[in-house]
Amino acid sequence: MLKRQFKPLVSARELDLARLRQRLEKQARFQRSSAGVQIESVDRGQVKGEWQLPAAAAPAPVILYLHGGGYAFCSPLTHRPLTTGLAKTASCRVFSLDYRLAPEHPFPAAVEDALQGYRYLLEEGIDASSILVAGDSAGGGLSLALLLKLKALGEPLPTGAMLLSPWTDMATTGQSLQENESTCAMFTAAAIRRAAGIYVNGGDTREPLASPLYGDLRGLPPLLVYVSDSELLRDDAVRLAKSAVDHGVDVSLRVWPRQPHVWPVFYPLLPEAKRCVAEMAEFARQRMI
């Protein structure tokens, strides 16, 4: 289904971004959130998003979730099956941030919004040690950018980060962009390069807040990284994990065979997605005791 429907749509020579956004949002309205998880919208100027609240969950800990979509599409709504499933499985509240999208709002708008979203949680009385950041694809790269920004500002870091197929290299230099083009179910290398161009908007593709692969990762909290061996962004995750280890960061890299890009978004349809969410929930519990 992905190869026949989604991949041609996002890889078309003339990308109709408005149509893509509309289609994904429409499909999302028919997806089911996990039972027993209440949704509460938030709109505080620059901070927009939604709380996903499992029954009987305590005020803390909290997962700050940054959705993927190439920095140009998707939203908290499109990712609700995954995020509400994670909230319920981990028995903790999730704040899913609705950050601004390119090309209307290119880099660094998403980083600025992620920073404000994190500060919003602190202002709500949640200690940094009780916050775990998570994100997929572009949201995985954005999670790392947030950590780098917080470190640069001298602000308290969260207790860890969970990254699903993180997009970490806007310079698009990974060998897997060529090696996995036929096996990746969702994207072509040309589509990845075009999305990078839309996001950086003529800027430096190796700027660490846009491409965390090139950042100084020293001092970051523990990272849990997932990626598929058959997807285009395999090397974005593998090289990021190696750089993190070289910088003294505690990293767990889990490379799964023959999965689509960010397969946990298909929770609870895929058994592999359910297993991955269960592992993420366990990591969250261990980091936020």
Contact assessment for residue 226 and residue 164, using Cβ atoms and an 8 Å cutoff: yes
Tell me if residue 231 is catalytic.
yes
Tell me if residue 261 is catalytic.
yes
φ, ψ at 91 (rounded to 5°): 55, 45
Contact assessment for residue 166 and residue 137, using Cβ atoms and an 8 Å cutoff: yes
Contact assessment for residue 87 and residue 37, using Cβ atoms and an 8 Å cutoff: yes
- Tell me the C-alpha distance between 11 and 19, whole Å: 13
Contact assessment for residue 69 and residue 138, using Cβ atoms and an 8 Å cutoff: yes
Non-local CB neighbours of 82 within 8 Å, separated by 6+ positions: 136, 264, 265, 267, 273, 277
Tell me if residue 137 is catalytic.
yes
- Tell me the C-alpha distance between 226 and 249, whole Å: 16
Active-site position among 130, 231, 243, 272: 231
Give which of 5, 14, 1, 4 is closest to 191, Cα–Cα. 14
Active-site position among 137, 176, 228, 230: 137
Residue 217 DSSP label: -
Across the chain, the runs of DSSP E, i.e. the strands, are 37-44, 47-54, 62-66, 93-97, 131-136, 160-164, 223-228, 251-256
Active-site position among 79, 176, 243, 261: 261
Strands 93-97 and 62-66: parallel
Q: Which residues are catalytic?
A: 137, 231, 261
